[in-house]
Amino acid sequence: PAQIMAAKEDLYAKVTPRRQRQTRPSTVKHGSTLDVLLSMGFPKTRALKALVSTGGKNVQAACDWLFSHVDDPFLDDPLPREYVLYLRPSGPLLQQLSHFWQQSRLSCGKNKAHNIFPHITLCQFFMCADGKVEALSDALQTTVAKWKGRIPLPLPLELYTSSTFIGLFVEEQVAEVLKSFAADFATEAAAKADVHVEPHKKQLHVTLAYHFQTSHLPILEKLAKNVDASSGCDWLAVLFSRDIRFANHETLQVMYPYIPQNDDELELVTGDFIFMSPVEQSSASEGWVYGTSLGTGLSGLLPENYVNRADESDTWVVHGSHSVLNCASPSNSGSTVGGLLFDGQHNDCLFDSLMDPPGIAGLCPPLQVKRPTSQPSLSKMRLFVCRHGERMDVVFGKQWVTQCFDSKGRYIRSNLNMPSSLPARSGGHWDYDKDCPITVFGSTQAHLVGEALLESHTTIDFVYCSPSLRCVQTAQHILQGLQQEAKTKIRVEPGLFEWTKWVSGTCLPTWIPPADLAAANLSVDTTYRPHIPLSKLVVSESYDTYISRSFQVTREILAECKNLGNTVLIVAHASSLEACTRQLQGLSPQNSKDFVQVVRKIPYLGFCACEEMGETGVWQLIDPPILPLTHGPNHSFNWREMLMQD
């Protein structure tokens, strides 16, 4: 409580000088949505806060937010949110910038530009009371309608580089037009919502990179020169907001669920975001951090290895998005759910389940690229690298082997997500301890990927996979979804196994031999001779050895398949997406620390694609032919705990 009170005092000290004079009554236009919340018994201040925090106009989302924030110590505090107006690109230019974002991050790691999606800043951050946000959105819509056809497109952009900054600057005359647009928005905002907006006075630009290592300048500059700034583009005027409490905090995303063991710990829900301030870490011991949940507003200690760094804008909320190309049609005048693409179409987003992870409603959508309409040239070789599906020991814990096998070694499942049967192992069921299978849902994930490849008219000519059972099973289900399991055999390649430093104990897993896999009805090529035999793998290999091994075996696989087929699929581990493709692109390996950070973000069935650039021997990452696969957490449920209580 003392820590919370101190935080509140600090916040109000910062906010009070910046808040605007209340010269006219609060303007509330949420109408029937607000009325419904009020009729449900929610106080007006809470109802408004819920609507604003979820992007507006959706009763279900607002209710979810209120129920999840019932213990939030700031729930009844009249703290305003901070707002900003950006121009966001869409169409071909967005694809160009997205590719630069991806390549620069893979080549040089994250820099400050990656914290926010590509944009042109039109004004400084400003505050607006919750009751006036609807009027503020109306001010933007009015301004855009007024400027219909007056903004010259495409915007002329010129590349500028220095030792610390790379960006695309708007040509001066057009920049003045955009500044006039921003000034008109400021006038409308003052008139309709009684807020003070300060238009951006500096040169207007799209930031590509800044705060990067000096040694990375040549690579970043080369990648930036490949961006075709004249690509067709519609620009969207988008109004965003962020929670003022966490403006200077680091944003983390929860990767794994966590149930608190002590009163000062924070419950973690996969997909939620955590805000962490360096000044709050005095109470955290090594391996732990102190943070606040976006989903609940609660604060506490959490294990550091359960979260990953996220981008600052991942938690921002959208309050209006309008095309400046066709100003008569707003592209999104209400909330937008994370994951939807700004494509110039109106999106009405409904929340159809209370089971969605809290704190996601209305968030700024992550940077995405539309699927290309045409397939790459069939004369070019393509390499797909895919991570295996959901694994048993992660879902059910390392003790699953003890729980699922009786004293005679017979397998008995205790959950619907456990496979109904498992292949017999010559070494006994304890070999599953280091070589686990995938879950039923893991099989479904893989089958979905195969079906998506089939729908995209993709044919896989060769399949290679790690000797881990989870990888072989994943490859099998992908082939089944592709309807190719009868004609395409899986080549089990030990050289594709993950970094052996990550294997616990003093010996490698005992894998099921290809002949036994085939006997268990898996489509395995029993005649295949590996490029790197099992005998060449060693325990606790160095990072350099693992990277060299992965690159070597990938090159040899591609050379083996050249002129025999165009598309090769590798099914292996999260680390394989990085280790098998980075050096193919002519890039140097990352250091081990950055490598681990990249790998931790790759989900089950994470999928990447590479294409050979002619006969040069150089490859480049391309858009996969399938959409990404995302799913939410599903906690264990015991009906007795709910229905048999006294």
* Residues known to be catalytic: 387-388, 573
Note every long-range contact of 15-22, with CB atoms under 8 Å and residues 24 or more positions apart, other chains counting: 15/79, 15/80, 15/127, 15/244, 18/127, 19/80, 19/127, 20/127, 20/194, 20/195, 20/196, 22/194
* Token code pair at residue 583: 């050096």
Question: Do 145 and 334 form a contact (C-beta atoms < 8 A)?
Answer: no
Question: Which residues have a Cβ under 8 Å from the Cβ of 261 and sit 6 or more positions away?
Answer: none
Q: Is 7 helix (H, G, I), strand (E, B) or coil?
A: helix
36 burial via Cβ count (<10 Å: 0-12, 13-18, 19+)? middle
Question: Do 219 and 213 form a contact (C-beta atoms < 8 A)?
Answer: no
Distances (CA, A) of 511 to 381, 476, 529: 31, 16, 16
The DSSP code for 411 is B
Question: Do 576 and 494 form a contact (C-beta atoms < 8 A)?
Answer: no
> What is the distance between the alpha carbons of residues 318 and 242, in angstroms, rounded to a whole number?
9
427 burial via Cβ count (<10 Å: 0-12, 13-18, 19+)? exposed
With residue 354 as reference, give the H or E element that holds it: none
At 392, which amino acid appears?
M
What is the b/e burial string over 279-303, where b = at least 16 CB atoms within 10 angstroms of the residue's CB? ebeeebeeebbbbbbbbbbebbbbe
Cα Rg for the chain, rounded, in angstroms?
A: 27
367 burial via Cβ count (<10 Å: 0-12, 13-18, 19+)? buried
Distances (CA, A) of 500 to 390, 436, 495, 496, 537: 20, 16, 11, 11, 8
Residue found by looking up tokens 């165009």 in the block: 566
181 burial via Cβ count (<10 Å: 0-12, 13-18, 19+)? buried
What is the b/e burial string over 381-415, where b = at least 16 CB atoms within 10 angstroms of the residue's CB? bbbbbbbbbbbbbebbeeebbeebbeeeeebebee
* Token code pair at residue 517: 């896999």
Question: Do 473 and 437 form a contact (C-beta atoms < 8 A)?
Answer: yes
